[in-house]
Amino acid sequence: MKNDGKVSRRDCLVLLGAGAAGAAATKAGFAAPLATPATNSSQSFAQREAKENAAEQASRERRMKWWHAAKFGMFIHWGLYSLIGQHEWAMDEEGVPIPQYERLAQHFVPRPHAAREWARIAKRAGQKYMVMTTKHHEGFCLFDTKLTDYCAPRQACGRDLVAEFVEAVRGEGLRVGFYYSLMDWHHPDGARCATDPAARKRFVEYTHGLVRELMTNYGKIDVLWYDVDWPLTPEQWESVRMNEMVFRLQPDIIVNNRNGLPGDFSTPEQYVGSAQGARAWETCMTMNDSWGYQRADDNWKSPKTIVRDLVSCAKGGGNYLLNIGPRPDGSVPEEEVRILTHVGDWMSRNGETIYESEPVNAGYHPYLDFTRKGNTLYLHVYFWPNGTPAAEWLPFFDPRTVVAVGGLRAKVKSARLLVSGQPVEFRQDDISVQFTGLPALAPDNPVSVIAVECDSEPSVSELYVRTHRKRYNVGVTRS
């Protein structure tokens, strides 16, 4: 949602105690939502996590290995709302009456195997897994179910779109993820379940039943991505029982934190998280401002912004789940294809700096960012420094193209331009390392990478510069 300072819909849900952990995201930072998640559970995530035993932690490590290495995934928001083309919240935000909204099911007839195009695009973009909305808040199931007729195979579409999706994703050798919204605007018990015990029982059985079908009918599923747990607490959803069922059916799966339990990873939404102890996280983000197809939304991020966000995620040890919102026929808006193609070209040259990378202990730098693998530090230069007039007066900036990093806490052994392998000269003292002999123009686009081999695990501390730099007398004493 837009960060315009107003109370957003998500904030409202949080205030109402809706409890999706991602909804707890504050602009203040990432630590807050993790430390004090907005959940109406009586126990905090931290309390629940503390109870985990070593076996559970070992299981998580095993199950999440591929995901940590993968770093980059595709999110897909697709459903009846795609026909309206005004964001996936249209039904609620515009107050569309259910009998009218249901008519969309008579017109949602995507072209066969549309997901194959998405999978090809994802593969080319360097994305390693795909997570699709099997049922969004609107309540329409894209999969075959015995529990409701409000599903693609029993409406005009006549096909199981989740089956098509799974086949397409596996066809490209990618990992399969299912998004599932607990909140349901269509089911008769979807709201009254909060106050009517019989309705709650029915609705929870319905919900568990749909999740069971998803976990049973499509072979091995790699990710279960719950969303918004309004209006029940995790206890009322019987989330523990739900997850136990999921793990019984899919022993290798990973689940997120939006059914009110900590799950395997947190889900900062529309902002990049940062390292937070051992807790895994995945930033999910739109390419414009909408998850579902929004035909008038032209607020596209540039490929450079996307690459920078991906780098920031990798730097903080997180993943990046980037959304597409296909049209109702399943075609992907051209702008999304264009952006992902650019990103994919960059990934084909620089993917080694992202996949399997490890968190970097480094702060802000004004024209570059960092990723790391072992003792190799990757400098991702997004504004290529060149030709500063200050070079005339400051030997520090001579030659005219110098990439400098203050506070690097490791000794540099060698450096090279990643795109060409060309060795890069450098000079280093206790405070700063300067890379020289660089081309005047950025060697890659939209971000150029210098790979720096260090003698130990590199970290970068501007505080070190501030506290250890040589200081002189008060006032200007040199000419």
Pairing of strands 129-135, 254-255: unpaired
Neighbours of 298 (CB within 10 A): 9
Q: Does 38 bind ligand GLC (CB under 6 A)?
A: no
Footprint of ligand GLC on residues 457-476 (CB under 6 A)? none
Q: Copy the structure tokens of residue 57.
A: 């932690």
Sign of CA dihedral 379, 385, 390, 391: positive
| C-alpha to C-alpha distance for 307 and 447, rounded to whole angstroms | 8
Neighbours of 72 (CB within 10 A): 23
Q: Does 322 bind ligand GLC (CB under 6 A)?
A: no
Q: Does 291 bind ligand GLC (CB under 6 A)?
A: yes
Tell me the Cα Rg of the chain: 24
| Closer to ligand GLC by Cβ: residue 189 or 282 | 282
| Closer to ligand GLC by Cβ: residue 257 or 401 | 257
| Closer to ligand GLC by Cβ: residue 77 or 279 | 77
Contact 385, 439 (CB under 8 A): no
Footprint of ligand GLC on residues 58-77 (CB under 6 A)? 77
What burial letters (b/e) apply to 251-275, b meaning 16+ CB within 10 Å?
A: eebbbbbbbbbbbbbbbbbbbbbbe
Q: Copy the structure tokens of residue 93.
A: 């935000």
| Closer to ligand GLC by Cβ: residue 132 or 221 | 132
Q: Does 140 bind ligand GLC (CB under 6 A)?
A: no
Q: Does 272 bind ligand GLC (CB under 6 A)?
A: no
Footprint of ligand GLC on residues 386-415 (CB under 6 A)? none
Coil vs helix vs strand at 174: coil
Binding test (CB under 6 A) with ligand GLC, winner from 34, 38, 88, 138: 88
CB of 247 to ligand GLC, least distance (A): 23
Contact 405, 460 (CB under 8 A): yes
Footprint of ligand GLC on residues 207-266 (CB under 6 A)? 227-228
Q: Copy the structure tokens of residue 120.
A: 């090809």
CB of 269 to ligand GLC, least distance (A): 5
Binding test (CB under 6 A) with ligand GLC, winner from 269, 297, 309, 444: 269
Residue 60, C-beta contacts closer than 8 angstroms, at least 6 positions apart? 254, 264
| Closer to ligand GLC by Cβ: residue 77 or 380 | 77
Footprint of ligand GLC on residues 166-205 (CB under 6 A)? none
| Closer to ligand GLC by Cβ: residue 14 or 415 | 14
Binding test (CB under 6 A) with ligand GLC, winner from 104, 232, 284, 415: 284
Q: Which amino acid is at 353?
A: T
Q: Copy the structure tokens of residue 179.
A: 């998004």
| Closer to ligand GLC by Cβ: residue 284 or 410 | 284
Contact 123, 174 (CB under 8 A): yes
Phi, psi of 130 (to 5 degrees): -135, 135
Q: Does 320 bind ligand GLC (CB under 6 A)?
A: no
CB of 265 to ligand GLC, least distance (A): 13
| Closer to ligand GLC by Cβ: residue 21 or 125 | 21
Ramachandran region, residue 260 (left: φ > 0; alpha: ψ -120 to 50; beta: rest) = left
Q: Which H or E run contains 131? A: strand 129-135
Q: Does 336 bind ligand GLC (CB under 6 A)?
A: no
User: In the complex, which residues of this chain contact ligand GLC (CB under 6 A)?
Assistant: 20, 22, 77, 88-89, 227-228, 269, 284, 291
